[in-house]
Amino acid sequence: MESFINEVDFFKGNNPEEIAREYGTPLYVYNEDIIRDRMMRVAGVITAYPYRANYSCKTNTNLEILKIALSVGVNADAMSEGEMRMLQKAGFPSDRIFYVCNNVSADEMRYAIENNIPVSLDSLDQLRLFGEINRGGRCAVRINPGVGAGHHEKVVTAGKKTKFGIAEEDIDSIFDIAKEYDLKIIGINQHVGSLFMDPAPFLAAVDNLLRIAKKFENLEFIDFGGGYGIPYHKLDDEKEFDMSSFSKEFTKKLDEFVKEYGSAPMFKSEPGRYCVAEGGVILGRVHSIKQNSGVKYIGTDVGMNVLVRPSMYDSWHDIEIISDGKVVARDKDSMEKVTVCGNICESGDVLCKDRELPGVKDNDLVCVLDAGAYGYSMCSSYNTRLRPAEVMICSDGSVKLIRRRETFEDMFRLYE
Ligand code: LLP
């Protein structure tokens, strides 16, 4: 693909240079149509049985994005009190939120219970704690299905090397604790990890979870977690995740289960990245270009405080260069190897290393693709830098500020 920005008309006819001047850089820019489209795709993965997709909002909790999820009809999962509160603020009713927590305090758990938000417990200890504060309550348990997957070992959340879930050999203890506290286990859930393009490990985990599910009576739901990948190498023509063949394979497994179990509980999944990654980019400004020991460094304001994925997981994000409001063509003759970095005081503050990009000039814009997921939500104020603003290119083509840039007053307020 020559240019994703041009191919999908990401800015819907608006000039990215003007947007960058008006709202400043670094700037997160989202495209409402793409986000709606991806959320509708995940909502339709299973059609043969009662099914709900939960948008995993740790990916991006901007209120406007949560409102899109709400309007498209997907539910949401929350990992913290903050995420529950954001979902409530966006208008999600309690029964459309699923609190999938890990190592939380009694107070945080109580927030979910008092707000009637269904809770999943991910250890025997947390199940006991839930029983102590909510004897006779209803809850789900997170099972470790023994199979993990993901783009980096730090995001594999099942299998033998992870803190998550209750192992299969501890299932009898779940029943013992449930009996002791008179708890009703209404659902089970899992999450194998984040970003698979080959669905095989996910489907193997589905097999395992469905086998384990038969040990539980009268389950109201089974939640298979998220992890559907997106093509981060789209400029090199990486293919999309094949949702339709995945959906067929997935349904076949559910068919077999339903026959044996005798009924179809509500099936759920928890995609995050797939819903929002491709619907977001970062616009950053080039402030300096220099050669150091034969390496050409493009110095921008997109530091690791704005997008941490490259420095945290060595993640690849395609980058397009925008000069005078237009995407610079990737002509063979103009391509050169450069290292694009941010303005943070760490050598690891690198967006990409030795990347072939078309000629970049001072004051050009870098447009970092696929930044809608785990972008802003993982921002920090490292080096005492302000968090960026976020704007939405709405379906009608208008540009809307959906979160203002942080100010120094915002920072100082915590000391008042
Ligand atoms: N459900 C649970 C319980 C999760 O822990 C996660 C992600 C998801 C669903 C959504 O997974 P997704 O569909 O987005 O892959 N910061 C990393 C990803 C961490 C994912 C953590 N859990 C990254 O930037 O790649």
CATH of the domain at 383: 2.40.37.10
Which tokens in the block code for residue 75? 């539910």
Residues 181 and 290 in one domain: no
β-bridge mates for residue 192, sequence order: none
Residues 313 and 210 in one domain: no
Residue with the nearest Cα to atom 2 of ligand 1?
191
- How many Cα atoms sit within 13 Å of 323 on the Cβ side? 10
> Is the CB of 317 within 6 Å of ligand 1?
no
% of the chain exceeding 90 in pLDDT: 93
Residues 150 and 8 in one domain: no
Q: In whole angstroms, what is the distance from residue 181 CA to residue 170 CA?
A: 17
Q: In whole angstroms, what is the distance from residue 330 CA to residue 321 CA?
A: 9
Calculate mean pLDDT across residues 216-233: 96
Reported confidence tier of residue 219, pLDDT bands at 50, 70, 90:
very high
State the chain's maximal CA–CA distance in angstroms. 72
Query: What is the pLDDT at residue 153?
Result: 85
For residue 79, which atom of ligand 1 is closest to its CA?
3
For residue 270, which atom of ligand 1 is closest to its CA?
9
Calculate mean pLDDT across residues 312-339: 96
Residues 120 and 262 in one domain: yes
Reply yes or no on whether the pLDDT at 149 is more than 80: no
Reported confidence tier of residue 200, pLDDT bands at 50, 70, 90:
very high
Relative to beta strand 319-323, strand 326-327 is antiparallel
Domain boundary among 260, 275, 290: 275
Q: In whole angstroms, what is the distance from residue 343 CA to residue 305 CA?
A: 9
% of the chain exceeding 70 in pLDDT: 100
Across all residues in the chain, what is the average pLDDT? Answer: 96
Reported confidence tier of residue 154, pLDDT bands at 50, 70, 90:
confident
Domain boundary among 252, 275, 298: 275
Reported confidence tier of residue 162, pLDDT bands at 50, 70, 90:
confident
> Is the CB of 155 within 6 Å of ligand 1?
yes
C-beta of residue 264 within 8 angstroms of C-beta of residue 256: no
Q: Which residues are catalytic?
A: 345
Question: CB burial class (10 A; 0-12, 13-18, 19+) of residue 265?
Answer: buried
Query: What is the pLDDT at residue 203?
Result: 94
Residues 243 and 346 in one domain: no
For residue 189, which atom of ligand 1 is closest to its CA?
3
Ligand 1 centroid–CA 186 distance in Å is 23
Place of tokens 């459309």: 96
Ligand 1 centroid–CA 159 distance in Å is 15
Residues 243 and 308 in one domain: no
Residue-wise pLDDT tens digits, 43-92? 999 999 999 999 999 999 999 999 999 999 999 999 999 999 999 999 99
C-beta of residue 155 within 8 angstroms of C-beta of residue 193: yes
> Is the CB of 309 within 6 Å of ligand 1?
yes
For residue 194, which atom of ligand 1 is closest to its CA?
15
DSSP state of 90: H
The domain containing residue 323 runs over which residues?
4-28+277-413
> Is the CB of 150 within 6 Å of ligand 1?
no
> Is the CB of 306 within 6 Å of ligand 1?
no
Ligand 1 centroid–CA 59 distance in Å is 7
Residues 389 and 253 in one domain: no
Neighbours of 98 (CB within 10 A): 27
> Is the CB of 157 within 6 Å of ligand 1?
yes
Residues 347 and 233 in one domain: no
CA distances from 260 to 205, 225, 264, 267 (A): 18, 22, 10, 15
C-beta of residue 268 within 8 angstroms of C-beta of residue 189: yes
| Angle at CA of residue 250, ends 247 and 256, nearest 5° | 140
Ligand 1 centroid–CA 108 distance in Å is 21
Residue with the nearest Cα to atom 8 of ligand 1?
226
Domain boundary among 232, 256, 275: 275
Reply yes or no on whether the pLDDT at 307 is more than 80: yes
Q: In whole angstroms, what is the distance from residue 240 CA to residue 197 CA?
A: 8
Residues 65 and 181 in one domain: yes
- Of 121, 190, 224, 273, the residue with max ligand 1 atoms within 8 A of its CB, to mutate for a pocket test, comes to 273
> Is the CB of 374 within 6 Å of ligand 1?
yes
Neighbours of 348 (CB within 10 A): 12
Residues 293 and 264 in one domain: no
Ligand 1 centroid–CA 226 distance in Å is 7
Place of tokens 């406007």: 64
Residue with the nearest Cα to atom 7 of ligand 1?
194
SS (H, E, C) 208-265: HHHHHHCCCCCCCEEECCCCECCCCCHHHCCCCCCHHHHHHHHHHHHHHHHHHHCCCC
Using the CB atoms, write b or e for 130-162: b if 16+ within 10 Å.
bbeebeeeebbbbbbbbbbbbbeeebbbbbeeb
Query: What is the pLDDT at residue 145?
Result: 83
Which tokens in the block code for residue 413? 């307020």
CATH of the domain at 156: 3.20.20.10
Residues 124 and 157 in one domain: yes
Q: In whole angstroms, what is the distance from residue 271 CA to residue 262 CA?
A: 27
Residues 267 and 321 in one domain: no
Question: CB burial class (10 A; 0-12, 13-18, 19+) of residue 222?
Answer: buried
Number of domains the chain contains: 2
Residue-wise pLDDT tens digits, 261-291? 999 999 999 999 999 999 999 999 999 999 9
